[in-house]
Structure 1
Amino acid sequence: MRPGPKGKVVSVTDGDTLLLDNGLTVRLIGLQAPKLPQGRENFTAWPKSDEAKARLEALTLGKAVEVRHGGETRDRHDRVLGQLFVPDTPELWVQRQLLAEGLARVYSFPDNRACLADLLAAESLARTMRLGIWADPYYTVRRADRPEALLARAGQYELVEGRVLLAEKAGGRVFLNFGRHWKTDFTAVIDARALGLFTATGLDPLALNGALVRIRGWVDDRDGPRIELTHPEQIEVLAAR
């Protein structure tokens, strides 16, 4: 990772965003904490959002921190993007700590994929131990063979597990079908622009026929529930066949 800005944390906005004394707003890349309304109308706070914010305050407020970049350095809101470290003894990696305590989920972008293996491992252990958010049904890992329940989660970021019934390429895109009826069953779709990233990491999505996988992303409703995949870390292969 590349060194980025340093500063002292003067306020915490929510479980993944904070403000430094140099005026920079930092968005912790690689995770998504439970969301707070932040002034949005008709927005209900996600479960554990207050706990996630309080924990980030306990870890960072009033402390000197360092940002390190592993991809894009700014988002469209001009927030600084990076992994956040508190250079105490021993050094604290804030993202990994929040994930290990079950106060966030791994959330990544195709242009910011550094450290994801370590972050996924921390999330996995917390989920297995049912820590934090993983004890709340709101964050349950959804089943791919229950498309009606997935449709009810359209517009939400979800983890979905199931066995790929058919992996096929059509029109430059790859479709991972989890049921026989593509108009109503759950599907994960890999856009042509993303296929190069899959090739670079050695993950051939067409080889996933029969594989048990975990998909993560935003659920939409287009010919049944669907998640768009933009980079390979959105797929975890749990069993090849």
Structure 2
Amino acid sequence: MAAASRRYSSAFLWIVLMVFGLKEACSQPLRSVHIRSVSENHELMQDDGKSLLLQSLELPTRESCRLHEELCPLVDQLEQYFRNSLVGRSLVIRKVDAYARNRYGLPLLQLEELDGRWVQQHLLEQGLARLRGGEQMTADETVMLRKAEKSARQAGRGIWGTEFGAVKSADDPGKLWPFLNSFQLVEGTLQKAAYRGDWLYLNFGSDWREDFTVAIHHNDLSAQDWSQLIDDLWRRRKLSVEGRYTVRVRGVLSLWNGPVIVVAHPKEIELSDVP
């Protein structure tokens, strides 16, 4: 009986230690990084020499400034923010995702300043960045960051007040040519879709050889969950005149036949009822 009592007491003690241990662990501050410097391409260099990037953002760089002079004041403002708010400071990592890396293997992180200001949200609100598409953002993060970007876009702040950064119309593909090989947002009337070979093509005009097109590879259609976007598009089609509806897409503008953006994630496509 005494042995059983000791076993129960030990078990109870173990549970208590586990509960309070977990509570203490949860009360510990989130992991942080200390930024030593920021490169011309906006790589954040840590004290240990390792680099990281701000996840989900497309930032104007010195290289884009040399090609598009109107971006230079924005790059100056962005670099000043980095110097004043990030360099020489510790930043809190909002979440740790070992799989969030760019094609060169650099970690992509969501960061907060020590006062709680979310770096990505702040840069989007100021018009100093545009939101990329996927990169493992949660649904809540997507909503919050799109809202921040929208406020700057509607006010014409920062990059949204430039010809380079403004949302482009798919109606005149010739006007897209000066912005080839750059990240852009293009908006237009989706007229039809076609599956050819390994690609799904969303056509924004009657002549796919010249008009703007969105291309999605079948591997990306299989790897991602497109169900919500497809449902939204289907409802829109039933409610729209002649089965047509307006869509906004974001990504690197390339040239195949006409201008094209290759999309790899459903978050890179959005319905644009609301500006």
Q: After TM superposition, is the score higher than 0.5?
A: yes
**Residues 40 and 62, structure 2, Cα contact 8 Å, conserved in 1:** yes
Q: Does 1:82 align with 2:109?
A: yes
Find 2:212's aligned residue among 186, 194, 199.
186
Task: String of CA shifts for 1:68-104, please: whole Å, max 9, x gaps.
Answer: 334624434443211011232xx11101111111100
**Residues 15 and 55, structure 1, Cα contact 8 Å, conserved in 2:** no
Instruction: Report what 2:120 is aligned to.
Output: 95
Task: String of CA shifts for 1:176-214, please: whole Å, max 9, x gaps.
Answer: 111000100000011101213554552218736512111
Following superposition, the deviation at residue 118 of structure 1 comes to 1.8
Write the distance in 2 (CA, Å) between the matches of 1:12 and 1:191.
35
Write out aligned runs for 1:152-231 (5 A).
152-196=178-222, 199-204=225-230, 207=234, 210-231=244-265
Write the distance in 2 (CA, Å) between the matches of 1:226 and 1:75.
22
Instruction: Report what 2:96 is aligned to.
Output: 69
**Alignment-mate amino acid for residue 117 of structure 1:** V
Write the distance in 2 (CA, Å) between the matches of 1:84 and 1:184.
41
Provide the TM-score with structure 1 as the length reference: 0.85
**Alignment-mate amino acid for residue 228 of structure 2:** G
Instruction: Report what 2:164 is aligned to.
Output: 138
**Alignment-mate amino acid for residue 108 of structure 2:** L
- State the secondary structure of the residue aligned to 1:69: coil
With over 3 angstroms needed to count, the CA separation of the structure-2 counterparts of 1:98 and 1:9, relative to structure 1, is same
Write the distance in 2 (CA, Å) between the matches of 1:76 and 1:167.
29
Residue range with higher mean Cα deviation, 99-108 or 198-207: 198-207
Task: String of CA shifts for 1:94-133, please: whole Å, max 9, x gaps.
Answer: 0111111110001244x53342332121111111111111
**Alignment-mate amino acid for residue 215 of structure 2:** V
With over 3 angstroms needed to count, the CA separation of the structure-2 counterparts of 1:73 and 1:167, relative to structure 1, is closer
**Alignment-mate amino acid for residue 118 of structure 1:** M
Q: In terms of Rg, which structure is larger?
A: 2
Provide the TM-score with structure 2 as the length reference: 0.75
Q: Does 1:112 align with 2:146?
A: no
Following superposition, the deviation at residue 218 of structure 1 comes to 0.8
- State the secondary structure of the residue aligned to 2:208: coil
Instruction: Report what 2:5 is aligned to.
Output: none
**Alignment-mate amino acid for residue 112 of structure 1:** Q
Aligned residue-pair number = 232
CA RMSD of aligned residues (A): 2.7
Write the distance in 1 (CA, Å) between the matches of 2:30 and 2:183.
29
The structure that is strand-richer by fraction is 1
Structure 2's unaligned 5+ residue stretches are 1-28, 238-242
- State the secondary structure of the residue aligned to 2:82: helix
Identity %: 29
Write the distance in 2 (CA, Å) between the matches of 1:25 and 1:107.
20
- State the secondary structure of the residue aligned to 1:139: coil
Write the distance in 1 (CA, Å) between the matches of 2:90 and 2:147.
27
**Residues 212 and 258, structure 2, Cα contact 8 Å, conserved in 1:** yes
